């Protein structure tokens, strides 16, 4: 019974076709990662730089079990998903709203619907309301794209601080900031670069992971609350969805 319900859910909401679409989104965002990096990282670093050089977070990182760290990271990611989910309803309403039939016609350019005649009604178009399944599918598309962006931003922040920590936080500093001693200090990697010793430790990875998780949460909140962020990082997908809804409006406008 459970397998049948799962199969119905997967096929009804088109989850299998969404997998290659999600992979294309990942590839597109990775291809545009320089733009994402340049526009999102400065503000996130302004928020997190002071946290990285705080001894307390290093003490927490040196003592917290890895399974607890994974739970904290998953908890913060879940909050990010919750924030983005709460903002979807307003976003979907905006996507399905058009200022004029001329705007609908412009959005339909390049689609089979462009050959259809536009209504002569001068009033604002009133598209059919989205059914629950349609809302779910469109919301899932937006949410998946935003989750990919949040994951990429968090990964970039983590990589940045791992590299930054390798260059700036040495063994003596770690011993001062944590409860580790020379006997218990056990780096994952110990190397020399340009005559300067560098150590990769579990504490550095955990601290970078903490900061990346908080940065991902901040980025997710900005996507929901800041229209500038939303327009900057989701404009391509929103344009695609608006075009699809414009075709839907032009083919079958509401009789009202």
| Burial profile 126-144: b = 16 or more Cβ within 10 angstroms, e = fewer | ebeebeeeebebbbbbbbb
Q: Does residue 69 sit within a domain?
A: yes
- Per the structure, the complete domain to which residue 155 belongs is given by 2-251
Q: Does residue 43 sit within a domain?
A: yes
The whole-number pLDDT of residue 3 equals 57
Burial (Cβ within 10 Å: 0-12, 13-18, ≥19) of residue 169: buried
Q: Does residue 101 sit within a domain?
A: yes
Q: Does residue 220 sit within a domain?
A: yes
The whole-number pLDDT of residue 255 equals 45
Domain count, the chain: 1
Q: Does residue 115 sit within a domain?
A: yes
Q: Does residue 127 sit within a domain?
A: yes
Dump pLDDT digits (tens) for 99-126.
Answer: 777 777 788 887 777 777 776 666 777 7
The whole-number pLDDT of residue 117 equals 72
Q: Which residues of the chain have pLDDT under 70?
A: 1-40, 119-122, 228-233, 252-256
Q: What are phi and psi of 190, to 5 degrees?
A: -130, 115
Dump pLDDT digits (tens) for 175-197.
Answer: 888 887 777 777 888 888 887 88
Residues in CB range of 122: below 8 A, 6 or more apart: none
pTM exceeds 0.85 for this model:
no
Residue pair 32/141 in contact (Cβ under 8 Å)? The answer is no
Residue pair 87/224 in contact (Cβ under 8 Å)? The answer is yes
Q: Does residue 256 sit within a domain?
A: no
Q: Does residue 178 sit within a domain?
A: yes
């Amino acid at each position: 019974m459970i397998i049948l319900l799962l199969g119905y859910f997967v096929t009804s909401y088109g989850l299998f076709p969404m997998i290659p679409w999600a992979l294309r989104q990942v590839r597109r965002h990775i291809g545009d990662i320089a733009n994402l990096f340049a526009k999102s990282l400065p503000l996130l670093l302004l928020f997190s730089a002071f946290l990285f050089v705080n001894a307390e977070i290093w003490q927490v990182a040196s003592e917290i079990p890895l399974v607890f760290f994974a739970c904290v990271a998953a908890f913060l990611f879940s909050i990010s998903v919750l924030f983005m989910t709460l903002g979807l309803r307003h976003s979907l309403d905006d996507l399905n709203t058009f200022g004029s039939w001329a705007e609908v016609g412009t959005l339909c350019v390049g689609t089979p619907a462009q050959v259809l005649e536009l209504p002569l009604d001068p009033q604002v178009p009133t598209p059919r309301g989205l059914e629950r399944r349609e809302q779910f599918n469109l919301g899932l598309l937006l949410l998946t794209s935003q989750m990919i962006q949040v994951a990429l931003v968090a990964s970039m922040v983590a990589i940045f601080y791992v590299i930054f920590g390798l260059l700036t936080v040495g063994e003596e500093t770690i011993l001062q900031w944590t409860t580790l001693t020379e006997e218990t200090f056990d780096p994952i990697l110990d190397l020399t670069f340009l005559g300067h010793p560098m150590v990769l430790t579990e504490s550095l990875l955990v601290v970078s992971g903490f900061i990346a998780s908080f940065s991902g949460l901040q980025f997710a909140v900005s996507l929901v609350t800041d229209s500038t962020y939303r327009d900057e990082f989701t404009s391509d997908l929103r344009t695609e969805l608006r075009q699809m809804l414009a075709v839907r409006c032009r083919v079958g406008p509401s009789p009202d």
